[in-house]
Amino acid sequence: MSFQILECDCKAPKKATLSHGVVHRRRTAKFPPSPWGDYFLSCEFSILNNTKNEDDENNVKKDVEKLKEDVIRMFRAVSENSSQTLSLIESIQRLGLTDHFEKEINEFLNMPNSFNLDDNEEDIYYTTLKFRLLRQQGYSIGCGK
C-alpha cells in the first residue's frame, strides 16, 4: 500500500471564533493519573543521551561485539545443516541485523551445494525460504525445477 503525498501549505490553525467575534476555548478533559507513573519519562540512558560516561559506552560496545561473535559461531555450528542455516539467516533478516552478517550470509549463499536439503527436510517452508533468500540476494531463480 502506498500513500500519495501532496504539496500543501501547512499553517498553524486559527483560533476558533464564533461569528460574532467571541473566542471559543476547548475544555480539557480531566483524566485520572496513569497507573504506570512517569517511569519512562525519567529513565535515562547514557548512550542515548551522549553523556560523558565512556566506560558504559565501551562496555556496551564490547557486549555488542561479543554477541556478533556468538552469531558467527552459530553460523559455523549449523553450516552442515542447510535447513538450520536457512532458518538462522531468516531470523537475522527479521531482526534487521543483515548488515552486520552480510559476509556470512553471502558465503553460505555462494556455496555450490548450500541448498542441497535431505529428502525429509524438503518441504514447502524450506523451498520458499530458499527461493526468497536467493531472489533477495539478486540470483535469477525460476519458479519451476
Which residues are within 8 A (CB) of 118 and not within 5 positions of it... i.e. 6 or more apart?
none
State the Cα angle at 71 between 137 and 139, rounded to 5°: 10
Q: What is the pLDDT of residues 11-48, one digit of tens each?
A: 555 555 555 667 767 777 887 877 776 655 555 555 55
- Please name which of 44, 56, 120 lies closest in space to residue 83, comparing C-alpha atoms: 120
Q: What is the pLDDT of residues 57-86, one digit of tens each?
A: 788 889 999 999 999 999 889 888 888 888
Please check the confidence at residue 91 and state whether its pLDDT lies above 90: yes
Q: Which amino acid is at 131?
A: F
Burial 92-123 (b: 16+ CB within 10 A, else e): beeeeeeeebeebbeebbeeeebbebeeeeee
Q: What is the pLDDT of residues 98-145, one digit of tens each?
A: 899 999 888 888 876 666 655 555 688 888 888 888 888 887 777 665
Rounded CA gap, 60 and 71, in Å? 17
> Does 130 or 6 have the greater pLDDT score?
130
